[in-house]
Amino acid sequence: MNTIYKRANRPPQMIIHQSMWSMTNYGTNHKEWSLEEKFEKIAESGFDGIFASLPDPSEEKQWRRLMEQYNFSFGLESFPNNREDLRRLLERAKDFEVQYVNAQVGNSFVIGDEAVILLENLIEEAALSGIPFFVETHRGRITQDLLRTIEYVNRIPNLRLTIDFSHYVLAGEMGAFQTVEPYFEKLLKRTSSIHGRVTNGQQIQIDIGDGEHPSATPFKNWWEKGMRYWLQQAKDNDFFPFVCEIGHHYTMTPSGLPSKHSDEEKLTDRWQQSLVFKRIAENNWNNICNGNKC
């Protein structure tokens, strides 16, 4: 697997991962791409690695071979409800040279002091493993409410976030952002990773075409701002994961039902949209790093 980030004195840099969740039910000619085909397409398109859960035992040998073949780095998604959940996951994560752990922390009914204690325990457990640990801003999780997440940030100085504002924009049916910007700003200062997805405030995920869709503009600005904040605090050998995460069951279909295969989606192409998000992230990074150390 990719060990490039272990080298000494490397300037801070962005890594771009493709979500394997986004590749679910994706393929051509009414046939889902095989694991081999998915890895090959991701590598050909210049991604640094993948973002996924740990593989099923039946796929582990093949998965390790492909990770080695393409020199991929690996970001791990997780869904811990308590410290023991995370401890067990981290024990396996070390064996896979996981570079960071992204956590959707359960559940949305845990609030106040109980939530703060849980987050502090998870951060402490992750620190023992030495693997960077980021908590995702996500609906249906401990961070589902924007104001609650602001409270967690205010009370936990070492809480680092994966920013996905699509969840907050959707939950608030937001159309204008002047009022919410100061709140987003507080979270952006804790950015350690970004999940690329755009909502219009009514659907969790929309097709943004070639990237010039008006709904994409505020997201591009938030992503660039989060990258800038991260760089102000970054040290040599640090890395910033941007994940292209176009959800397969978030995709709009003519029937309004989740698609069983990409051929049924019609209204979008998840893989092509992932490539658009990849290009946006690269453009943002280049805008920031022009003439700078990164």
Average pLDDT, the chain: 92
Q: Is the pLDDT of residue 200 over 70?
A: yes
Q: What is the pLDDT of residues 140-157, one digit of tens each?
A: 999 999 999 999 999 999
CB 166 within 8 A of CB 212: no
The neighbour count for residue 213, using CB atoms within 10 Å, is 15
In whole angstroms, give the CA distance from residue 233 to residue 230: 5
Q: Is the pLDDT of residue 6 over 60?
A: no
Tokens at 89, concatenated: 């996951």
Q: What is the pLDDT of residues 59-98, one digit of tens each?
A: 999 999 999 999 999 999 999 999 999 999 999 998 899 9
HSE of 130 in the Cβ direction (CA atoms, 13 Å)?
A: 3
Q: What is the pLDDT of residues 227-245, one digit of tens each?
A: 999 999 999 999 999 999 9
Cβ neighbors of 290 (< 8 A, separation 6 or more) are none
DSSP 258: P
Question: pTM here?
Answer: 0.94
